[in-house]
Amino acid sequence: MACIFCKIASKEIPADILYEDELVVAFKDAKPIAPVHILVIPKEHIESVADLKDNHEVLAGRMIMVARRLAEELGISENGYKLLFRVRKYGGQEVPHIHLHLLGGARLSENIKPVE
Ligand code: AMP
Ligand code: ZN
């Protein structure tokens, strides 16, 4: 059974898609935590950054370049933004299909502390 982001990539379930090419899809996060909150995912099912292989170098680069271009197009580039990969359990990753968060449109707080 395909994972939820595989289903978004294959249009089995709807998402607000902003960009798509042969390798990646970018769509709005359903529960945004910033004025601009977009997820960039590969069409290929890869669980996390920790599961990338050497042959994924072009794909990983594409994800960053797409986020960069969307930031430019959405007018959040000059002030700046965050790019975030959560990785597995301690990184707080909830969806096990690698995704790059593009977060911006406001100054964002730092909140990276060990949980008690
Ligand atoms: P993470 O905690 O890094 O795994 O982030 C998963 C993100 O996916 C969260 O920000 C969710 O709001 C988002 N998300 C989960 N399901 C969907 C969906 N069907 N469409 C859009 N975003 C989603
Ligand atoms: Zn998947």
Give backbone dihedrals phi and psi of 40, rounded to 5 degrees, phi first.
-110, 120
Domain boundaries along the sequence of the chain? 4-104
Report the candidate in 61, 63, 85, 81 with the shortest Cα–Cα distance to residue 71.
Answer: 81
Ligand 1 geometric centre to CA of 82 (Å)? 16
Give the pLDDT of residue 115. Answer: 84
Tens-place pLDDT, residues 13-68:
999 999 999 999 999 999 999 999 999 999 999 999 999 999 999 999 999 999 99
Q: Which ligand is nearest to the CA of 5?
A: 2
Give the pLDDT of residue 14. Answer: 98
Eight-state DSSP code of residue 59: H
Give the pTM.
0.97
Are 27 and 15 in contact, with CB atoms under 8 Å apart?
yes
Q: Which of 4, 12, 39, 100 gets mutated to test ligand 1 (max ligand atoms within 8 A of its CB)?
A: 39
Tens-place pLDDT, residues 66-88:
999 999 999 999 999 999 999 99
Q: Which two tokens stand for residue 95?
A: 């969806």
Give the pLDDT of residue 71. Answer: 98
- Which H/E stretch holds residue 20? strand 17-20
The dotted CATH code for 4-104 is: 3.30.428.10
Amino acid at site 60: A
